Amino acid sequence: MWFRNLQIYRLRDFNLTTDQLEKALARQAFQGCGNTDMLSRGWVAPRAAGDALVYSLKGQMLIALNVEQKLLPASVIKQFAQDRAAEIEEQQGYRPGRKEMREIRERVAEELLPRAFTRRRSTYAWIDPVGGWLVIDAANSAKADELLETLRKSVDDFSLALIKTKLSPISAMTGWLAGNQAPSGFTIDRDCELRAAGEEKATVRYVRHPLESDEIRGHIEAGKQVTRLALTWNDRISFVLHENLQVKRLAFLDILKEESEQQAETADEMFDADFAIMAGELSRFLPDLVDALGGEGTEAPARPV
């Protein structure tokens, strides 16, 4: 249940109730791949024990996109096509030409598709109508775009923008590390990445390494900038901030998980407690992170999907 990565967006004029969002998502409810489908996407219940497409608690919402993909490697298609071509050559006395081989591969793919293995994965998004946040638990922008594309097909007049700050994460993180001074409420941990601005973009990474050394300051004085930095917020959440304002390796520290365990006895109660604590912490963490980066700037439009 606990998010591991944050792709952060600003919601504008979001006034849907839980029931209205539920009906909207039902337009794109998940259905598995048919015999001839390579990919299928749709909304599923974010709570394993429930059937509602929107999980809501105290005004906070959680949704989940399910993606099913057929696994049909090109090497398998190629092997079957070569076998088919060998049979044709034996029957006709000549090897199929380039155009005929392309047609053979297409037919083989169609025949193999119904028998292909499938892989499923889910991507979750937290919606905070009060704070105006939409946060996707995705390690890369492609998975976030996948969820946003499906959301736009489901919800009419959906206004969304990438969060943007007055200070770029690169300049802010470089300043923090150069002065060995994190912003209020944050502490610098032991992982970072520095990159030069030249054509070669020489990169240095430190993992589980003290970051207050003269060696690191020397890299900064030589012109390298910080593109990733491990931080902890209020001794409650640790994370790695990236140059594009993505938050990765998010970890809610043990004290929070202990709070959840103390509040719950059953699996349903545990889910409720986990989500309530996570949403509450993120609703405080995100404004602090934005403030540490100079406050909100002009919003960037969300990536086209």
Alpha-carbon distance 233 to 236, whole Å?
6
Contact 247, 240 (CB under 8 A): yes
The reported pLDDT for the residue numbered 305 is: 37
Cα Rg of the chain, angstroms: 24
161 or 158, which is more confident: 161
Confidence of residue 220 (pLDDT cuts 50, 70, 90): very high
pLDDT, tens digit, for every residue of 148-160? Answer: 999 999 998 788 8
Q: What is the dihedral of CA 172, 177, 182, 187, to 10 degrees?
A: 130
Class of residue 232 by CB neighbours under 10 A (exposed 0-12, middle 13-18, buried 19+): middle
Helix (H) or strand (E) holding 87: helix 74-92
Confidence of residue 304 (pLDDT cuts 50, 70, 90): very low
What does pTM read for this prediction? Answer: 0.83
pLDDT, tens digit, for every residue of 25-68? Answer: 999 999 987 776 778 899 999 998 778 999 999 999 999 999 98
